[in-house]
C-alpha cells in the first residue's frame, strides 16, 4: 500500500496541471485518507499538505449531506460522482456553497480524486445584478421623492412651530408631535439621499486589522459598551485594496446591528480574519477576480428573521421595528463598489456576516511603503 500511495502521489503532484488547478483538489487513498492536496486546497482548508497527509477526509471536510455510501459505490464501480449545491466547511469558518466532483485515479485501484468547486457565485451574481438594478431604480426614485418632499416638510414644521406659540399646553402637545414626526421623516429622507450620493471608494492598500481595531474601539466606547468583542486575526493577512473610511463605515454598521440585536443584556461579537486562496468572484461579464481576504463578524444574537434573511441587503428591508432598511443596503453597496462580496448565514445564536475583498496590487503596496 505504501508503494501504491507513493506512486499515486507522484502521479498527481508531478503533473503540471495539479498545482495549476484553480479549485481545491484532494487525493484520497482506498481508506479515505488524504495523501495529497493541491495549493488551492491548502488555502481552502487553511493547512499544508504535510500537516494534513494521513488524515481522514471526512474529519477535515464537513459536508451537509451524507456522501460516504455514494462515495464507496463510486470507488467500487470506478465511476465518477457529481454532487451539486452542498455546503462545505472545514470546522474553522462558515461553510461555502459548493459543487463536488469525485473520480477514480487511473491505474491506481481505490485512489480517488476529490475536487471541491466553490460556487463562483455566477448564479447568485446574476440574481444580485438584477437586485442591484432594481435597487438602483428604487433609490433613484426615492432620491427624487426625498428632494421633493423635504421642502413641504420644512413648511409644515415651520407652520406647526408658529401655531404652537398661541396654543395651550395641551394643544402644544399636538403641534410638538407634528414637529417631531416631520423631523423624523426628514432624517429618513436624508439617509436616502446619503445612500444615493455615496462617492466611489478611493482605493489604496489598507490594513484590515487597523480598520477592525478602530471600529472595535469606537463600538466599545458607544453603542457596543455592553458587548464583548473578541479578536481572532490572521497576523499574516496581506493588505487589502480598499477605502479605509468606507470599510470602517461598513464594519461599524455591522457591529451596531449586532449590538442592537443583542439588546441591553449584551452579547459576544467575534472579529475573524483569514486568507482563502480559492475564493473568486465571477461577474456577469464572465470576468473573475480573486477575493482572498476574508472578514467575518459573528454574533451570538437571536439571528435574522427567516422571512427577510434572503433579502436583508435589499433597500428598505429591515428586521427591526422602526428600522429604515438602508443600513445593510449601504454596506452591500460599499462592498460592491470595492468589487468585493458580502454574504450572511444566520441561525438563532449565531449570525455571521462575511466580507470578501481583493488583495492590494503589489505595485500599489510598494508605492505606499516607499
279 close to 236: Cβ distance less than 8 angstroms: no
Predicted confidence at residue 126, as pLDDT, reads 46
Partner residues linked to 37 by β-bridges: 26
pLDDT for the residue numbered 203: 92
* Residue, of 51 and 198, whose pLDDT is higher: 51
Question: Helix, strand or coil for residue 183?
Answer: helix
Looking at residue 368, what is its pLDDT?
A: 56
Nearest to 313 by CA among 281, 288, 335: 335
User: 76-85: string of b/e by CB count within 10 Å (b at 16+)?
Assistant: eeeeebebee
Q: Taking the complete model, does pTM exceed 0.85, yes or no? A: no
**pLDDT tens digits, residue range 85-142?**
788 887 666 677 788 889 888 777 888 899 988 765 544 444 455 445 555 555 566 6
Question: What residues contact 358, with CB distance under 8 A and at least 6 apart?
Answer: 240, 241, 289, 290, 291, 292, 293, 338, 339, 340
- The residue among 296, 297, 301 whose CA lies nearest residue 226 is 301
Q: Which sign does the torsion angle of CA 11, 17, 20, 24 carry?
A: negative
If we measure between CA atoms, which residue out of 339, 334, 332, 329 comes closest to residue 360?
A: 339
The gap from C-alpha 209 to its chain's centroid, in whole angstroms, comes to 16
Each residue's pLDDT tens digit, 146-194:
667 777 888 888 888 888 888 888 788 888 888 888 887 877 777 666 6
Query: Residue written as cell 445612500?
Result: 195
| Per-residue confidence (pLDDT) for residue 136, from 0 to 100 | 56
**Which of 129-133, 232-236, 305-309 is least confident?**
129-133
pLDDT for 296 equals 94
Over 70: is that where the pLDDT of 284 sits?
Answer: no
Q: Compute the distance between CA of residue 207 and CA of residue 197 in angstroms, rounded to an integer.
A: 26
**Other CB atoms within 10 Å distance of the CB of residue 206:** 24
Tell me, what's the pLDDT at 58? Answer: 87
Q: Which of 18-22, 71-75, 264-268, 345-349 has the lowest mean pLDDT?
A: 18-22
Q: Is residue 240 a contact partner of residue 208, using CB atoms and an 8 Å limit?
A: yes
pLDDT over 90, % of the chain: 21
Rounded Cα gap, residues 286 and 147, in angstroms:
38
How far apart CA 219 and CA 227 sit, in angstroms, is 9
Over residues 4-37, the pLDDT tens digits come to 667 666 666 666 677 777 788 898 998 999 988 8
Cα 215 to the center of its chain, rounded Å: 17
Amino acid at each position: 500500500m505504501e508503494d501504491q500511495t507513493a506512486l499515486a502521489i507522484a502521479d498527481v503532484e508531478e503533473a503540471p496541471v495539479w498545482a495549476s488547478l484553480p479549485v481545491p483538489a484532494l487525493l484520497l487513498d482506498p481508506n479515505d485518507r488524504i495523501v495529497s492536496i493541491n495549493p488551492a486546497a491548502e488555502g481552502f482548508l487553511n493547512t499544508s499538505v504535510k500537516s494534513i497527509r494521513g488524515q481522514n477526509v471526512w474529519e477535515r471536510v464537513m459536508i451537509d449531506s451524507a456522501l460516504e455510501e455514494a462515495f464507496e459505490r463510486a470507488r467500487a464501480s470506478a465511476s465518477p460522482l457529481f454532487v451539486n449545491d452542498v455546503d462545505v466547511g472545514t470546522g474553522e469558518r462558515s461553510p461555502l456553497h459548493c459543487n463536488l466532483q469525485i473520480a477514480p485515479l487511473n491505474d491506481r485501484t481505490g485512489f480517488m480524486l476529490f475536487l471541491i468547486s466553490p460556487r463562483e457565485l455566477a448564479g447568485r451574481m446574476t440574481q444580485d445584478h438584477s437586485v442591484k438594478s432594481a435597487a438602483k431604480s428604487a433609490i433613484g426614485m426615492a432620491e427624487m421623492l426625498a428632494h421633493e418632499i423635504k421642502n413641504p416638510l420644512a413648511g409644515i414644521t415651520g407652520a406647526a412651530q408658529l401655531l404652537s406659540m398661541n396654543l395651550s399646553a395641551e394643544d402644544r402637545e399636538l403641534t410638538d408631535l407634528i414637529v417631531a414626526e416631520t423631523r423624523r421623516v426628514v432624517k429618513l429622507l436624508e439617509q436616502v439621499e446619503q445612500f444615493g450620493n455615496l462617492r466611489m471608494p478611493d482605493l489604496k492598500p489598507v490594513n484590515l486589522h487597523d480598520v477592525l481595531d478602530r471600529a472595535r474601539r469606537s463600538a466599545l466606547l458607544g453603542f457596543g459598551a455592553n458587548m464583548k468583542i473578541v479578536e481572532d486575526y490572521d497576523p499574516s493577512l496581506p493588505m487589502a485594496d480598499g477605502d479605509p473610511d468606507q470599510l470602517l463605515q461598513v464594519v461599524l454598521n455591522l457591529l451596531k446591528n449586532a449590538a442592537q440585536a443583542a439588546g441591553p443584556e449584551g452579547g459576544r461579537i467575534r472579529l475573524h480574519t483569514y486568507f482563502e486562496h480559492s475564493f473568486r468572484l465571477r461577474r456577469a461579464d464572465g470576468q473573475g477576480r480573486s477575493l482572498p481576504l476574508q472578514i467575518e463578524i459573528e454574533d451570538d444574537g437571536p439571528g435574522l428573521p427567516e422571512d427577510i434573511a434572503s433579502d436583508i441587503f435589499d433597500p428598505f428591508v429591515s428586521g427591526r421595528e422602526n428600522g429604515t432598511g438602508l443600513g445593510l443596503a449601504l454596506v452591500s453597496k460599499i462592498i460592491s463598489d470595492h468589487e468585493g462580496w458580502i454574504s450572511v448565514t444566520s441561525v438563532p445564536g449565531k449570525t455571521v456576516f462575511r466580507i470578501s475583498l481583493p488583495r492590494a496590487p503589489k505595485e500599489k503596496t510598494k508605492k505606499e511603503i516607499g
